[in-house]
Structure 1
Amino acid sequence: MMKHNTKTKLLTKLSIIGLIILSVSCSKNELLKYDTTQKDGVYFDATNATDSTFYNFGFSEITEMDVVVPIYLMGLPVAHDREIKLTMSNDKYVDETVVPATPEYYEIPETITLKADSVSTMIPVRLKRDADLETYRAIITINLEATEDLDIRGHSEYTITFDDKTPPTPPWWASFWYGEFSKFKGQLFFRYFKELEQEDKAVYDLIVARWGEYLTIEPNIYGDNPLFTYMITFAKYVQQKMYDYSLENPHLNLNISEPQY
């Protein structure tokens, strides 16, 4: 009798396990199904919390900045190119802090191509360093539009805000050597710091590896201040050049101290 009960229990357990396996297998098959009759679509891989980005021209001396925004395909790649249409609605999120970007501030194509056999592409965006951006922050709102080939599937909007306002004073800035901080001084500092790459690449690489190209990797103050850690290097290759520049341009009142090394 006990053997019969044990056998019955075993068969019951095996049946339950079999049903679980069958259920999981069916679920997986359902997940793998794709309705090939629906039109393929494109989307931004973003949410309401991640569908925007901000750029500041900062300490660089570039006049244009090239950035990209990725677009993804929901559907199957095909053997021919497909067109993606873009529109702008730059007035949509304007408030007291931002102005709508006008054409002199940027370049974005009206259409881009999703290449054959591709599942993603990039929108090329060129931001221009207009003088107005020293005062205003501009906003671009990019919209994906449906075409004959592609619908919109998911998030269809992406915003870019950008300006050329003076960045905050860096925490590592040493006013007793370089005087009061300004954007121009910051640009001058990094112009000469970048030249260190040609003059002493090994040291430049060590500094960038630790603190980054613009010395933004923390900690970067007090005992971890790169200007203190590499005091002689910065005095010789950056401060000296800034001091010489200030002597050549006294009308700028840069107040750079003469370095001692």
Structure 2
Amino acid sequence: MRIMKRKYMIFVLLGVLGVFSACQKENIAAYSDAERINVDLRQMNLTKDTIEVSLGFYEGDVMDIDMKLYVMGYPKDYDREVAIEVVSSNNAEAGKTYELPEKIIMPANDIRCTIPLKVLRDPDLMKAAKSFRINLKSSDDFEVGLYPTLYISVTDDVPTVWIGDENWMKDGSFYLSIEDCFGKCSRVKYKFVYEVLGIYDFSVWNVWGFMYDKAKFVPAKKLLKKELEKWEAVNGPMMDENNERVTFPD
């Protein structure tokens, strides 16, 4: 008899839970907040809202950046306009330091779009770096989301410090810096690294956003050592701007 009562109580409890669950599902509301526009950092392979442009690595006078946007909300059956403002520092100027389209449209039936941003080789960059910030703004179509900003820093030089590990944990053992892998930076060395690897901002070579990714840096170092050996077999020792030989750690 006790066993029967226990079974009965279990069935009743399961029934109550089932009804409660069904009610909960019926009460789940659809997304009802304002449509919010964001910079899509993930689609841009960014771990922070900053891009450091070093035109010293490039031969041309224009660098194209696709600024990706997404809407937290639903697509509409009509075009929607995205409002932005540009805040300049160090005399960055539209048409001289950068170019942006006059109108930015989120196409009908879509929640993603791209702003074609052009960074220009401003002659004044030889004197000093320039920077500007693109802010998404509220409009008739959108409110501002959680990621409303993209900051662009521009130089016309090759840096003398590695770019990308500024926010990583570094203690020289488990947590490593770019310098631990590639050694001391110099302009000549950095340019060689870029020519071989095709990358100068290593912020995307991370684990969880704050750690050196061994799976990328270790094979990269092996490739750099191999390519340097080939280069020196033809040209002799590679010397940097400080008259120090370019090497990579073992």
- SS for the counterpart of 1:219 is helix
TM-score (ref. length: structure 2): 0.62
**Aligned residue for 1:102?**
93
Shift of the 69–16 alpha-carbon distance from structure 1 to 2, 3 Å rule, reads: farther
In structure 1, how many angstroms separate the alpha carbons of the residues matched to 2:105 and 2:125? Answer: 31
**1:143 counterpart residue number:** 135
**RMSD over aligned Cα, in angstroms?**
4.1
Per the alignment, in what secondary structure is the counterpart of residue 218 of structure 1? helix
Q: Which sections of structure 1, spanning at least 5 residues, go unmatched?
A: 92-98, 174-180, 194-207, 243-253, 257-261
Measured against aligned partners, the alpha-carbon deviations of 1:25-79 in whole angstroms (never above 9, x if no partner) come to 44445445233xx6533223469x8333322224222221111222111222122
- Aligned partner letter, 2:124: D
Q: Provide closer, same or farther for how the CA distance between residues 118 and 10 of structure 1 changes in structure 2, counting only shifts above 3 A.
A: same
1:116 and 1:89, CA in 2 relative to 1: closer, same or farther beyond 3 A?
same
Residue 12 of structure 1 is matched in structure 2 by 9
Please name the residue that 1:63 is paired with. 61
* CA-CA distance at 1:115 after TM superposition: 0.6
Gaps of 5+ in 2: 163-178, 203-215, 246-250
Which deviates more from structure 2 when the two are superposed, residues 125-134 or residues 79-88? 125-134
Q: Which has the larger Rg? A: 1
- Structure 1: distance between partners of 2:39 and 2:82: 12
Which residue is 2:176 aligned to?
A: none
Partner residue in 1 for 2:172: none
- Whether the 8 Å contact between 1:105 and 1:128 is mirrored in structure 2 is yes
Closer, same or farther in 2 for the Cα pair 1:155/1:28, shift >3 Å? farther
Return the offset for 1:128.
Answer: 1.1
| SS, match of residue 7 in structure 1 | helix
Please report how far the alpha carbon of residue 17 of structure 1 lies from its aligned counterpart in structure 2 after TM superposition: 2.9
Cα deviation digits, residues 132-184 of structure 1 (max 9, x gap): 324433222112223323333443233222222332278799xxxxxxx655x
Cα pair distance change 1:29/1:66, threshold 3 Å? farther
SS at match of 1:101: coil
1:160-212 deviation per Cα after TM superposition (whole angstroms, max 9, x unaligned): 22222332278799xxxxxxx655x976x689x6xxxxxxxxxxxxxx6xxx2
Q: In structure 1, how many angstroms separate the alpha carbons of the residues matched to 2:21 and 2:83? A: 41
Query: For 1:238-257, what aligned pairs fall within 5 Å after superposition?
Result: 239=235
- Aligned pairs for 1:12-91 within 5 A: 12-31=9-28, 33-35=30-32, 39-45=34-40, 50-91=48-89
Deviation at 1:236, TM superposition (A): 6.7
1:114 corresponds to 2:106: yes
**Is the contact made by 1:113 and 1:121 (CA closer than 8 Å) also made in structure 2?**
yes
The residue type equivalent to 1:50 in the other structure is K
Does the 8 A contact of 1:60 with 1:190 survive in 2?
Answer: no
Paired residue for 2:159?
A: 167
| 1:67–1:27 Cα change, 3 Å | farther
On the 8 A contact 1:134/1:166 being kept in 2, the answer is no
